[in-house]
Amino acid sequence: MNRSVIIATVIAVGVAGWLASGQFKDEAPETSTAEVKPETDVAPALQPKETGPVEVQVKTYQARPRAQEVIVRGRTEAFRTVEIKAETPGRVVETLVERGQRVKKGDVLIKFAVKDRLAQLAEAEALIRQREIEYKAAKSLNKKGFSAATTLAGSKALLDSARAKAKSVRILLDDLVLRAPFDGIIEERQAEIGDYIKDGNTVVTIVDENPFLVTGQISELFVNRIKVGGTGTARLVTGEEVSGTVRFIAKTSEAATRTFRVELLVNNDDNRLRAGVTAEMVFKTEEVMAHFISPAVLTLNDAGELGVRAVADDNMVIFYPVQVLSDSADGAWISGLPHESRLITVGQEFVRAGEKVTYNTETAGAQ
């Protein structure tokens, strides 16, 4: 027989004998009729310790009026940027501005060739003088009864036509000289001496530097909190801070983001601002009662809500969900608390709502 089978058989027989010996073992005779008491004493180290309420540190906070802030991120924009275009075709004969040059309203920027337009104007003015003489004669004859009223009216029409023609030539001459429509700075000059410019082509781009705009997209949740004419400030990424008034709030939102364009009009008397700089706008809204606390007091409950833990009059812990209105390095303004609240400042992470605690109190000083 296979050796491994023999070994397995021997082991099986031994195990079976051992089990049988336990089943048929003689019961021990009762030696005493006295009742045996169960052991109830537990080692002192294993006995549960009686613990009292957790001791925490609290601070009493009073609510104060606080203007809410709406923060909008955006960028600076020029108040207006205008592309000055040629109104009549012509050849450039003189350029009087360069890029980056500041100009005043009415300053000459570009001149086009006059060509024969001065001769056209002289011809039109001569025709006016002729028509004036004819009209005076017709008027005199009509007054004496030697001319019909229709003849006088025809003479007057010819005079008006001559004057209109002369005016048209003067307008063409004015169009040959391009002037600055407002105070600003030359951003681009697209024409050089000798260029032939067709009507409608851009010749100069001018930017209005003062005032300036800071624009952004405000959420639909906050758009009704600000109004046109309200005040606001803007902090630029370059470090400057400017103040101004709300100039425009869009009535239609962006379809993709559900946000509304808002424009803050600010002064730029020193011409420091540049278009396209990242900025953060802060708008003050209506006042609410709020508490100014250290951010370290904020915590989360089991549901993940942001709030604070306080101690009620019966020494029970209560959790208040709060909303952070604004925050800084010095602290955070929050809403959602009773006017006077005892907030747990030390130990808030070791207690839960509904637990009883003992506490040491410190009254919050002026913030």
> Would you kindly state where each structural domain of the chain is located, as residue ranges?
56-66+289-363, 71-79+208-287, 114-175
Identify the DSSP state of 308. E
Measured between its terminal Cα atoms, the distance across the chain in Å is: 96
Q: Is 225 helix (H, G, I), strand (E, B) or coil?
A: helix
Task: Give just the sign of the alpha carbon dihedral 186, 192, 193, 196.
Answer: negative
DSSP per residue over 331-349, as a string?
A: -EEEESS-SEEEEEEESGG
pLDDT score at 11: 55
H or E element at residue 327 = strand 323-327
Query: How many residues are there in the chain?
Result: 367
pLDDT score at 178: 94
Q: What sections of 79-148 are H helices per DSSP? A: 117-144
Could you say which residues of the chain have pLDDT below 50? 1-3, 5-7, 9-10, 13-14, 17, 20-42, 365-367
Q: Class of the 56-66+289-363 domain?
A: mainly beta
Q: Answer whether CATH 2.60.120.260 is correct for domain 71-79+208-287.
A: no
pLDDT score at 31: 37
Out of 1.10.287, 3.40.30, 1.10.10, 1.10.3470, select the CATH number for domain 114-175.
1.10.287
pLDDT score at 8: 52
Residue for token pair 């009535």? 251
Peptide bond before 211: cis, by omega within 30 degrees of 0? yes
- Pick from 56, 63, 65: nearest CA to 310: 56
332-335 and 278-293 as β-strands: parallel, antiparallel, unpaired?
antiparallel
Round to whole Å and give the CA distance between 189 and 206.
9
- Report residue 168 CA to chain centroid gap: 50
Report yes or no: 312 and 320 within 8 Å, Cβ to Cβ.
Answer: no
Q: What CA–CA distances, in Å, run from 122 to 169, 181, 230?
A: 9, 29, 57
Instruction: Return the amino acid letter for 334.
Output: I
